[in-house]
Amino acid sequence: MKATAPGKLILTGEYAVLDGAPALVVAVNRRVTASRHTGPRGSSPFLVAVAEEIARTYGVDAPEARAAMEIVVDSSSFFLGNTKLGLGSSAAVTVAATALALTITREVPVIDRAAVLAIASAAHGTAQSSRPRPSSADLTGVRQQRAMSYSDLSAQVLAATTAGVHTAGGPPSAKIRGSGADIAAAVHGGVIMFETGNVTRLVWPEGLVLIPFFTGAAADTAELVIRVATAREANRAAVEAALAAIAAASRAACQASAVQQPEIAANALLAALKLAGAATDRLATATELPLVPACVSAARQAMAALGGTAKTTGAGGGDIAIAVLPAPSNPGKLKEHVTNAERLLIEAGCQPLGLSVDTTGVDLQPSGQ
């Protein structure tokens, strides 16, 4: 038996979600795979945290706790070459490992999503908070070891960008714990609104095309979060106004995704995403940080010609961004429409990834599958 879990994209609510704003999150069809391994395994802090959290919950002698110590995770699909894509690998790793550990000893394995969510959330938070930020040399070493198929090395890389950030020659200046939106997306799949720990299932409108693309560079999430927080202290009025705009746009996006009429939902969500992109631009100006890569701005101009838009996801600054545009009225023209949009994105310096919404969430499969 093996468990798989999808990656995620936080489409709206970036930064403001840490203040309790809603986030629109989609699970995407890149998956990590957790399996049982009897030999040496990687030392990912997220896998260790899963084993420790299960032992705390079920007891150190519980079969689930013993099983957790034998789990390894392959997250190579969350990389492009040696570069992390920013799909939430550590969350997917934690969720897949938790799900497998909780079901591997059962005669009839069935995933208890509530239990997986609770344990994975606690384990992920523990691993994020306790792991010190390594040097750039350490990160290079982790990437070089990535060929080891049994170890969860992408989780180590992400841990490096979501743990404490060191000041020059000093101790960590902060400990970053994520909102939990990435864990929820990996557990439930599909499209969700995540707000202060609560999950509401939504649907991506049929009339709106989603094209995720790589910006060409990995982003340092933790560094950006800390720098935004620092800028907030220095320029509170402007930064908080931008965060309020991000929160309002995100709420509008979530509301649009809850509309039952597809055409109305598509138009409303597209309008909300345009507002969300403008709000992120506003935050970049207020903080004087490079949150919006040049290729995203170029992509936005290109998509405007097709009635669409483009924006960053998550913390911005790199990783994956999205283009969204209205679907053609003739379904038979959809493939041609997407191909044309992808050509424009490539000309703008972007790299379309062929990602789509993954509705499954964490699942179990036979080991041979």
Shared domain check, 300 and 175: no
Q: How many C-beta atoms lie closer than 10 Å to residue 38's C-beta?
A: 7
Which residues contact residue 129 at a Cβ distance below 8 angstroms, ignoring those fewer than 6 apart? 163, 164, 175, 176, 177
In a domain, 170, yes or no: yes
CATH of the domain at 209: 3.30.70.890
In a domain, 368, yes or no: no
For residue range 27-49, list pLDDT tens digits in order. Answer: 999 999 999 876 555 568 999 99
* Domain termination site, one of 151, 173, 200: 200
**pLDDT grade, residue 197 (50/70/90)?**
confident
Per-residue confidence (pLDDT) for residue 132, from 0 to 100: 52
- Residue 358 domain flag: no
- Are residues 21 and 142 both part of a single domain? yes
Q: Are residues 84 and 63 in the same domain?
A: yes
| Enclosing domain of residue 209 | 205-352
- Same domain for 122 and 220, yes or no, is no
Tokens found for residue 171:
């101790």
- Whether residues 103 and 12 fall in one domain: yes
In which band, very low, low, confident or very high, does the pLDDT at 177 lie, cut at 50, 70 and 90?
low
Looking at the fold, whether 26 and 152 belong to one and the same domain comes out as yes
| Same-domain status, 153 and 190 | yes
Same domain, 54 and 170: yes
Closest by Cα among 311, 327, 339, 323 to 249 = 311
Based on the domain organization, do 71 and 212 belong to the same domain?
Answer: no
pLDDT interval class at 171 (50, 70, 90) = very low
* Structural domain count of the chain: 2
**For the segment 87-144, what is each residue's pLDDT rounded down to a tens digit?**
999 999 999 999 999 998 777 789 999 999 999 999 999 998 775 544 444 433 333 3
CA distance 352 to 242: 28
pTM: 0.84
Q: Check whether residue 35 and residue 74 sit in a common domain.
A: yes
Tell me if 360 is assigned to some domain: no
Whether residue 101 is found in the same domain as residue 16 = yes
Q: Say which CATH number the domain at 56 has.
A: 3.30.230.10
Whether residues 31 and 174 fall in one domain: yes
> Is 188 within 8 Å of 138 (Cβ atoms)?
no
